[in-house]
Chains A and B, each alone.
Chain A
């Protein structure tokens, strides 16, 4: 449709690429892989997102950031819809996102897709220390500063770090 008021979809994606997760501000919502769909109709837009965890407290903040930014871009009506299926997985996190996480000091989710298993007292996954790159690390706790992270300690540099665990 040719309409001077219609906002280019690319501009929308550029805006979304600058909206960050309030709990991990180096990651954009596109890095996280939680934006599923964008539908533009004239001056209205619907952005469909999916939560990382069921109880992720960042989702409400992310929803209002999307609304504010897209209204500022000139849309008259902005809706943020939420879908649960298919369920979000850490496999949807972008390669760039994983690099940003590591630079920020959080070990990114392991590249080989893994399903969280029920195996008890399993030997720790080999998680690389984001500070010194050593694989001599061990898990301190299954749950870290947020539900999506586990707490690890590096045996080489002794630093404690968060690991963005598989989901």
Chain B
């Protein structure tokens, strides 16, 4: 598999798995409006994933299409970060994760929209319009909940302790990523924005956490297997079924 295809799969898998995780909230959100907001974000993410999969499939030969890539790969073949496959936890964990990832995607797609690969650039230029809404929405909620009641503040602080070790992987490029982006620049922008929002949310960043890394090279937690068992069950039980 070429680095280009691996890179596209990494982008696609991150979007698909986070989209799937968020969709688990459908019908369970704390209030209707925010339930709808999160499921709309899911839809955007799954749409972005489709664009990356379609492009990856077009490069990887006749046997592949977006569905084979999403539904017929096993856990070790997925290249998403460990962060997106973590369980949703409470609403605070889900919101905080959305902020951490949207913040990353925002600066990532800003760079990729100027990439010399015109197809990749077009997908990124489209995605950034959607991600801007995701980042604004999740930033506002991190601040509301962090700088909210005693309980909401405590829960957000717990969420930050839980998720922070997974953020290192977002900012540490795999071999196949380095040709595409200026990681140092993205890292700086991501850190500045994260510090700004978390400070406004009166949350403190843990200072002694050990990085959890491995998803981008296929070493996943057991949570991904559980997601895939559910997400892939229909196309695997009934191969070639169409909607």
State the A residues within 8 Å of B (CB). Answer: 51, 53-57, 83-88, 116-121, 140-147, 151, 167
A123 to chain B, nearest CB (A): 13
Contacts of B47 in A (CB 8 A): 51, 53-56
Q: Is the CB of B33 within 8 A of A55?
A: no
Scan B29-49; emit 1 where CB is below 8 A from any A CB, else 0.
Answer: 000011011001101111110
Residue B132 at the A interface, CB < 8 A? yes
Contacts of B36 in A (CB 8 A): 141, 143-145, 151
Task: Give CA–CA (A1, B199) in the complex, Å.
Answer: 68
Known contacts: A87-B125, A147-B130. The answer to whether A55 contacts B137 by CB under 8 A is: no
Question: A88 — nearest CB in chain B belongs to which residue?
Answer: B126
Q: Is the CB of A121 within 8 A of B51?
A: no
Using a CB-CB cutoff of 8 Å, which residues 110-163 of chain B contact chain A? 118-119, 121-123, 125-127, 129-130, 132-133, 135-137, 139-140, 143
Task: Give CA–CA (A57, B42) in the complex, Å.
Answer: 12
A118 to chain B, nearest CB (A): 6
Contacts of A146 in B (CB 8 A): 40
Interface of B is mostly: helix
Q: Is the CB of B50 within 8 A of A54?
A: yes
Q: Is the CB of B37 within 8 A of A142?
A: yes
Contacts of B123 in A (CB 8 A): 54, 84
Q: Is the CB of A55 within 8 A of B50?
A: yes
Known contacts: A84-B51, A85-B118, A87-B122. The answer to whether A142 contacts B130 by CB under 8 A is: no
Question: B15 — nearest CB in chain A belongs to which residue?
Answer: A54
Task: Give CA–CA (A8, B46) in the complex, Å.
Answer: 39
A165 to chain B, nearest CB (A): 8
Question: A142 — nearest CB in chain B belongs to which residue?
Answer: B137
Task: Give CA–CA (A121, B135) in the complex, Å.
Answer: 12
Question: Which bracket fits the contact residues of B?
Answer: 20 to 34
Known contacts: A53-B130, A84-B126, A120-B139. The answer to whether A143 contacts B37 by CB under 8 A is: yes
Contacts of A141 in B (CB 8 A): 33-34, 36-37
Q: Is the CB of A140 within 8 A of B45?
A: no
A-B contact pairs, 15 of them (CB 8 A): A51-B126, A54-B50, A54-B126, A55-B46, A56-B47, A84-B122, A87-B122, A87-B125, A116-B133, A118-B136, A143-B33, A143-B36, A143-B41, A144-B36, A146-B40
Q: Is the CB of A55 within 8 A of B44?
A: yes
Task: Give CA–CA (A146, B143) in the complex, Å.
Answer: 25
Contacts of B118 in A (CB 8 A): 85
Question: A146 — nearest CB in chain B belongs to which residue?
Answer: B40
Q: Is the CB of A85 within 8 A of B122?
A: yes
Q: Is the CB of B44 within 8 A of A147?
A: yes
Known contacts: A54-B44, A141-B36, A143-B40. The answer to whether A120 contacts B143 by CB under 8 A is: yes
A83 to chain B, nearest CB (A): 8
Contacts of A85 in B (CB 8 A): 118, 121-122, 125-126
B38 to chain A, nearest CB (A): 8
A131 to chain B, nearest CB (A): 20
Contacts of B139 in A (CB 8 A): 118, 120
B6 to chain A, nearest CB (A): 21
Task: Give CA–CA (A83, B36) in the complex, Å.
Answer: 28
The 7 closest A-B pairs by CB, nearest first: A55-B47, A54-B47, A85-B122, A141-B33, A143-B37, A84-B122, A55-B43
